[in-house]
Structure 1
Amino acid sequence: MMIRRMTAWEKLIPSVHQKRIGGRIANEILMMFRTGKKFSREVSIYDPIGADKDGETVSLLDILEAGDREVLETVIIKQDVKILYEAYKENLTDMEQTVIRMRYGLFGTKEHTQREIAEKLGISRSYVSRIEKRAVGHMREAFYEPAGNTR
C-alpha cells in the first residue's frame, strides 16, 4: 500500500528533466510572442494613442467619432467614384462610354443634350436615350454588386 502511494506521488512530481524541458518550451513560446509583437503591424481602433487634457486615454475610435462628418462623406464619395469609374471602363462598350461621357460632361467635357449627342454621332435621339439607359443600368449593377451594397 505504501509503495503504491509512493509511485502515485512520484508520478505527480515532475522530474528535473521534465522541468528543464518545460522551461525551454515556455521560453520558446515567450520569445515567439515577443518577436511577433515586434513585427506586428495590426492596430486596433480601441488601442490608446494618447491622452486628452483631462488625462484620460484617447483611442483611435474616439478621434474617428469626433471627426467631421464631411471627412467621412468625402471618403465614401471617393470610394463610390472609384467603383463607378471601374464600372465605366470595364462594363461599357465604346459607344456607351462616349454617350455617358458626353451626356454627363465627364473628364472635362461639356454636358450635352441627347439631341446634340445624336447630331454629333449621326444617330437618332431615341437611340441615344436607349444607349444611355442601358449604360446607366450596367453601371448601377456594377456599383451595387461588388460589396453587396444596398444603396
Structure 2
Amino acid sequence: MDSVQLFLNEIARYPLLNAEEEVELAKKIEAGDQAAKNRMINSNLRLVVFVAKKYQNQGLGLLDLIQEGVLGLIRATEKFDWRKGFKFSTYATWWIRQAIGRALQNQARTIRIPVHVTERERKIEKAERDLAEHLGRAPTEEEVAEAAKVSLKQLREVREAARIVTSLDKPVGEEGDTGLSDLIVTGPHGLEEEVHVSLRQEHLRKAVAALPDREQRVIRLRYGIDGGEPQTLEKIAGELGLSRKRVRDIESKALMRLEEYREIEALREAV
C-alpha cells in the first residue's frame, strides 16, 4: 500500500463537521484550545486531498501537494473568523490553493534555474535592497550590477530567467484557467482580505443569478457585475425600452430580494 493510500485510509477515520460544529470549534481555537484546532484540521483533510488532486502533473507528486496543502489548511484554521459568516471549507480552500501554488512556483524555479544562476540572482536581489535602503530610491541597473559585481549583461540575463520561470500567467490547475498570480499571497494581510472580498463576490453572484431575468439584467447593468462599467438608469431604460421610473422600480424590487437572500443564507449557515 503506497503512502497516499495510507493517508487516505487515515483521514477517513475523522468525521466531517457541520456548520454549528465549525463555529463551536472556531471559538475554542480562538481561545487557544489545541485539541479543537487538531479536530478542525483532521476533519478537513479530505478537502486538502480534493484540492491537491487538481494540481497533479504540475511538477510535484500528489503526496507532496497534499503536504503543502495541509500547511495551508493549518494557516486557515489559525486565521478563520467565524463572525464573517463564511463556511470554513470555502475559506480554507483559498489557503490550501495558495500553499500549493507557492510550492509549485518554488518547484518550477528549482527545476528550471541552474544553481549558479539562482545564487547570482540572490546576490543581485541583496545588492538591490541594500542600495535602495542606502540611496532612498530605486537603484539603476548599472548601480546594481556594480554593487553585485556582475556585468550589466549578466544582470539582465538573470532577471530574464527569473521572469520567465515565475511568469504569473502560467496556467495551473485541472482546468488550466488559473494563473500562479491567483495562488500567491501578496502580503501579510493581502490574501486574507482577498479571500473575504472574493467570498462576498461569490455570494453576490449566486444571489443575482437567483433573481428573475429582468431584475437580474437590471442589477448586472446598474452595478457592472459582469465586469462592465455601472450604467445610469437612463441608459438602462433606453437599452431595455422602459421608462426610467420602471427601471428604478425593478432595481428596488431586486435589491429587496437580494437583502432577503442574504438573510436566508445567514440563517442557513447557522443551522
What's the TM-score once normalised by structure 2's chain length?
0.32
* 2:200 corresponds to: 80
Is the Cα–Cα contact under 8 Å of residues 236 and 247 in structure 2 kept in the other structure? yes
Query: Relative to structure 1, is the Cα distance of residues 82 and 133 closer, same or farther in structure 2, using a 3 angstrom cutoff?
Result: same
In structure 1, the residue matched to 2:227 is: 108
> RMSD of the alignment, in Å?
3.4
The verdict on how the C-alpha distance between 1:133 and 1:61 changes in structure 2, with shifts beyond 3 A counting, is: same
Deviation per CA, 1:7-51, whole angstroms, max 9, x where unpaired?
A: xxxxxxxxxxxxxxxxxxxxxxxxxxxx9x95126596358xxxx
Give 1:61 shift: 6.2
Q: CA deviation at 1:89?
A: 0.9
- Give the direction of change, closer, same or farther, for the CA distance of 1:87–1:95 in structure 2 (3 Å limit): same
User: Displacement of 1:144 after TM fit?
Assistant: 2.7
TM-score by length of 1: 0.54
Kindly report which structure 2 residues correspond to 1:25-104, keeping only aligned pairs within 5 A, or say none: 39-40=10-11, 45-46=37-38, 60=74, 64-65=78-79, 68-90=188-210, 92-104=211-223
Question: Which letter does structure 1 place at the counterpart of 2:78?
Answer: L
Distance 1:121 1:61, change over 3 A: closer
Is the counterpart of residue 129 in structure 1 residue 248 in structure 2? yes
Change (3 A) 1:72 1:114: same
Structure 1 segments unaligned to the other structure (5+ residues)? 1-34, 48-59
